[in-house]
A and B are shown apart, each in its own frame.
Chain A
């Protein structure tokens, strides 16, 4: 199926700024879905609030644009009530890990079969450039005119510790790699997390003198390295990209089916 058939052209042009990385992530995601040959009727995309969250309106899947930080909880309701659906949850960094932090770790703990994508631009874009829990220290933002003093979460480590059974990281520069990771994440049985660094030239880039979108993309190329690569070994300060966790663990909906079987058996006896 042509890639454009996965989009709702009626609702274009999209609302993202020129140079935003989110469109690239949408592109990677659509290619992953297309590559897997998934039926559009079987996919539910659930999102929260923020620039990232608008992604759900543009795809021709069942789409649920919810409230700030709670996308994973709506998604849990969708998935558990109809486990045959593929549930994909794109979130921004604030959405996923500030207001939504609790839901993030608990979805990972349950290992419910949902694909979470953290579109990490390290800033609240829609409200005009405030720092997020992924900004890290020393960053300028409209609410940090003297730079941030807050440490950031490491999404990969957090997801891993909370129990996610698939954890990966890529960037909007490494589109092919991101597409491959998303493909694996969607296929993976269990809670999967893919963090994709996404440039926000409008707010993060401008405030922090990182230049335009091209400059910011080049930074992703220069500041990251593949897991297990020589570059990473030589320069351990680089941000590692790759698949950090790919393991098997009992999946929540399947485990609940066992509860149903046991409850029905007990009632019958």
Chain B
């Protein structure tokens, strides 16, 4: 059978990935530049017996998917800057109550209403720390539609594996750009379903008692096990508790289950990194320009490459340190005021040799933008 080949927007590639991963339920609210995700899912989900609901606001959308996840469904919402801000409290709830869900944030310029129809990567730190309190989070990104598809599938897999919200940090250029997508055959890409409890009926089930491997098998609402779910610190039954040991243990569990698995969660790509003296660390649509430049300069014999990050949180500190160990300079290419830059500086041995190449005016950063700074760093003049 010939492969299904499409020429589509990035937002639709995300939809294809979500459906491939087994999405059952989507709740959303229209917002540029993510709206196409909702539009396509409103058409596609009912065709496969899934449910789509347009809620009254962004908060309601986030909460509705959490409710649906508890009945055993694979769930998702999509948004952009202002909507992502509104969703933060409920994202924290999903962290605390350990409820799998996927949130796509197709980034636009901020703060506030900002630059709705133009590109930005300004929500990197918001994805990490947008909700209050200590917690861990998984955030993924991609720079082309094949990867958008793949990373969306991964987002569902990781959400179900770690019982956590997973954030897809796309951007306006990726969301709206059209390019080719080859949809894999069923079975070609691994799909992870959530672990469900084997505790039989009438035996006490502890929804929040981690197994030895840290995982917590779930039981669907409507099933044989009735338990409590809360955003308060809670004991193994899910019942509220402020017992210091319970509070301490739960918070550590929430952070450790993700941060201790950074190696398993890390996703990245190398482009021309072999023997590279100058390394560009980039992600999302910025990475396209970085890769383009690296290709051109390599053709001219320059030793330059790109480390493309596809997982931003938990930040792959060890990976960045290792890959950049022999670089004369590291250029972080991103469309914000240096949000990943700070992480890279903290990761490498020589932070003074890490430079920011950014663009924050709503225009996609170009290979020429990067080249101009590269020349200065290389001592070749302006």
Q: Is the CB of B221 within 8 A of A85?
A: yes
Q: Is the CB of B46 within 8 A of A61?
A: no
* Chain A positions within 8 Å of B237 at CB level: 10
Q: Is the CB of B67 within 8 A of A74?
A: yes
B346 within 8 A of A: no
B333 within 8 A of A: no
A75 within 8 A of B: yes
A11 within 8 A of B: yes
Select A78's contact among B221, B223, B227, beta carbons within 8 Å: B221
Select A74's contact among B24, B66, B222, B223, beta carbons within 8 Å: B66
Stretch at the interface among A64-72, A117-125, A191-199, A219-227: A64-72
Q: 0/1 per residue, A54-83, Cβ < 8 Å to B?
A: 001100111111110010011111111110
Stretch at the interface among A37-45, A130-138, A140-148, A230-238: A37-45
Residue of chain B at shortest CB distance from A267? B47
Query: What is the count of residue pairs linking A and B with beta-carbon distances less than 8 angstroms?
Result: 133
Interface centre among A63, A81, A262 (most CB of B within 10 A): A81
Give the contacts of B336-381 with A (CB-CB under 8 A). Answer: none
Q: Is the CB of A44 within 8 A of B221?
A: yes
* Chain B positions within 8 Å of A149 at CB level: none
Residue of chain B at shortest CB distance from A82? B71
* Chain B positions within 8 Å of A11 at CB level: 239
Q: B258 to chain A: closest CB distance in Å?
A: 22
Instruction: From known contacts A70-B63, A77-B68, A256-B51, infer whether A84 and B230 are also in contact, taking CB-CB under 8 Å.
Output: no
Q: Is the CB of B222 within 8 A of A67?
A: no
Q: Is the CB of A70 within 8 A of B90?
A: yes
Residue of chain A at shortest CB distance from B51? A80
B212 within 8 A of A: no
Q: 0/1 per residue, B172-190, Cβ < 8 Å to A?
A: 0000000000000000000
Residue of chain B at shortest CB distance from A102? B56
How many angstroms from the CA of A61 to the CA of B227 in the assembled complex? 7
Interface centre among A8, A57, A85 (most CB of B within 10 A): A57
Instruction: From known contacts A67-B63, A75-B67, A77-B27, infer whether A61 and B51 are also in contact, taking CB-CB under 8 Å.
Output: no
Residue of chain A at shortest CB distance from B24? A81
A1 within 8 A of B: no
How many angstroms from the CA of A70 to the CA of B93 in the assembled complex? 11
How many angstroms from the CA of A8 to the CA of B51 in the assembled complex? 33
* Chain A positions within 8 Å of B75 at CB level: 77, 81
Residue of chain B at shortest CB distance from A70? B63
Interface size class of A (residues with CB under 8 A): 35 or more
How many angstroms from the CA of A143 to the CA of B33 in the assembled complex? 41
How many angstroms from the CA of A263 to the CA of B222 in the assembled complex? 27
Q: A85 to chain B: closest CB distance in Å?
A: 5
Q: Is the CB of B93 within 8 A of A67?
A: yes
How many angstroms from the CA of A192 to the CA of B240 in the assembled complex? 29
Q: A11 to chain B: closest CB distance in Å?
A: 6
Q: Is the CB of A81 within 8 A of B47?
A: no
Select A260's contact among B46, B60, B70, B239, beta carbons within 8 Å: B46
Give the contacts of A223-269 with B (CB-CB under 8 A). Answer: 256, 259-260, 262-264, 266-267
Instruction: From known contacts A67-B90, A67-B231, infer whether A77 and B221 are also in contact, taking CB-CB under 8 Å.
Output: no
Q: B156 to chain A: closest CB distance in Å?
A: 16
Q: Is the CB of B93 within 8 A of A66?
A: yes
How many angstroms from the CA of A24 to the CA of B338 in the assembled complex? 57
- For the residues of B in contact with A, the DSSP-based class is mixed
Q: Is the CB of A65 within 8 A of B231?
A: yes
Q: 0/1 per residue, B270-307, Cβ < 8 Å to A?
A: 00000000000000000000000000000000000000
* Chain A positions within 8 Å of B47 at CB level: 263-264, 266-267
Q: Is the CB of A70 within 8 A of B46?
A: no
B193 within 8 A of A: no
Select B66's contact among A62, A77, A82, beta carbons within 8 Å: A77
Select B65's contact among A66, A77, A84, A264, beta carbons within 8 Å: A77
Select A85's contact among B49, B222, B229, beta carbons within 8 Å: B222
How many angstroms from the CA of A85 to the CA of B71 in the assembled complex? 10
How many angstroms from the CA of A70 to the CA of B231 in the assembled complex? 12
B103 within 8 A of A: no
A188 within 8 A of B: no
* Chain B positions within 8 Å of A60 at CB level: 226
A207 within 8 A of B: no
Q: Is the CB of A65 within 8 A of B229?
A: yes
* Chain B positions within 8 Å of A63 at CB level: 226-229
Give the contacts of B51-84 with A (CB-CB under 8 A). Answer: 51, 53, 55-57, 59-61, 63-73, 75
Chain B contact residues, CB within 8 Å of chain A: 24-25, 27, 43, 46-47, 49, 51, 53, 55-57, 59-61, 63-73, 75, 89-90, 93, 221-224, 226-232, 237, 239-240
Chain A contact residues, CB within 8 Å of chain B: 8, 10-11, 40-42, 44, 46, 56-57, 60-67, 70, 73-82, 84-85, 102-103, 106, 256, 259-260, 262-264, 266-267
Which 10 pairs, one residue from A and one from B, show the smallest C-beta to C-beta distance?
A77-B67, A77-B64, A263-B46, A81-B68, A73-B63, A74-B67, A77-B68, A73-B60, A65-B230, A106-B56
Between A and B, 7 residue pairs with Cβ closer than 8 Å are A11-B239, A63-B228, A73-B64, A80-B53, A81-B51, A82-B222, A264-B49
Q: Beyond the given A41-B223, A80-B51, could you list 18 further A-B residue pairs with CB under 8 A, ordered by the A residue number?
A: A11-B239, A57-B228, A57-B230, A61-B226, A63-B227, A63-B229, A64-B67, A64-B228, A77-B66, A78-B221, A81-B68, A82-B221, A85-B222, A102-B56, A103-B60, A106-B55, A106-B60, A267-B47
